[in-house]
Amino acid sequence: MLRAMLSAISGLRAHQTMMDVVGHNIANVNTPGYKTSRVVFEEALSEVIGGSSQAGETPNGGLRSYASMTYAGLKSLIYAGLGPDDPRVEAAVKWISRHYDLESNPGLGSAGLYYYYHTFAKTLDALDKDSFVDASGKSHDWQAEMVAALAKRQQTDGSWVNEDNPRWLEGDKNLVTAYALLTLAHCRPNSPAAETQP
């Protein structure tokens, strides 16, 4: 319940930022030389959460997006009850479609790869999508692709570990294997995982 409330508060703050920008644009509609502003999803999310991004900053000083946090943010929006027509949900889905990848955590490379896999699968499961169309128009059977990505990374003892980047404790087989198993729980058609896990 607390997570849902915090997600709702974050959504309201992002919406307030968008309303402030729109209001400023309207107030300056007749100002000679005024250039309108607009809110971009990653900038709005950065402003709401504050702090810094593990992926660095954009050229204009905003926080750079990366996949695992974009999926986590989208999942929070879904759990807060926002629908597919909400502009924040649309922006996140658009970002994800431009950065669909199972070889890396887009924006961070191999850092946090298994956490990314978990948020990727949990979010697409929550979206109730068996396939996902990327920005180039290619349809992906994301569940089969995720199973294949995990299968090729599984250790001979049955565990998983991030051999390329132990950042965020992903050098710990216990943690990474847990991420992999949680990910696989969302990779079954009509997965009950979305119904049983908040």
What pLDDT, on the 0 to 100 scale, is given for residue 180? 94
Number of domains, the chain: 2
What pLDDT, on the 0 to 100 scale, is given for residue 9? 63
Confidence of residue 46 (pLDDT cuts 50, 70, 90): very low
Residue 7 has pLDDT above 80, yes or no: no
Region of residue 69 (phi > 0: left; psi between -120 and 50: alpha; otherwise: beta):
alpha
Domain shared by 18 and 60, yes or no: yes
Domain shared by 2 and 92, yes or no: yes
What are 127-173's pLDDT values in tens digits? 888 899 999 999 999 999 999 999 999 999 999 999 998 888 889 99
Q: Which token pair is 79?
A: 């759990």
Domain carrying residue 119: 104-198
Q: Which token pair is 21?
A: 């920008």
For the chain, helix (H) and strand (E) counts, in that order, are 8, 2
Out of 99, 120, 135, pick the residue that ends a domain.
Answer: 99
CA distance linking residue 88 with residue 72, whole number of Å:
13
Residue 24 has pLDDT above 80, yes or no: no
Domain shared by 8 and 88, yes or no: yes
Out of 51, 66, 99, pick the residue that ends a domain.
Answer: 99
Domain shared by 59 and 13, yes or no: yes
What pLDDT, on the 0 to 100 scale, is given for residue 69? 83
What pLDDT, on the 0 to 100 scale, is given for residue 48? 46
Domain shared by 198 and 184, yes or no: yes
What are 104-137's pLDDT values in tens digits? 988 888 888 999 899 999 999 998 888 999 999 9
Out of 81, 99, 117, pick the residue that ends a domain.
Answer: 99
Could you give the angle at the alpha carbon of 40 between the alpha carbons of 90 and 146, nearest 5°?
Answer: 50
Domain shared by 2 and 77, yes or no: yes
Domain shared by 66 and 90, yes or no: yes
pLDDT, average across residues 58-62: 53
What average pLDDT does the chain have? 78
CA distance linking residue 106 with residue 114, whole number of Å:
12
Domain shared by 166 and 184, yes or no: yes
What pLDDT, on the 0 to 100 scale, is given for residue 159? 95
Please give the residue that has the higher pLDDT: either 48 or 181: 181
Could you tell me what percent of the chain has a pLDDT over 90? Answer: 33
Domain shared by 78 and 165, yes or no: no
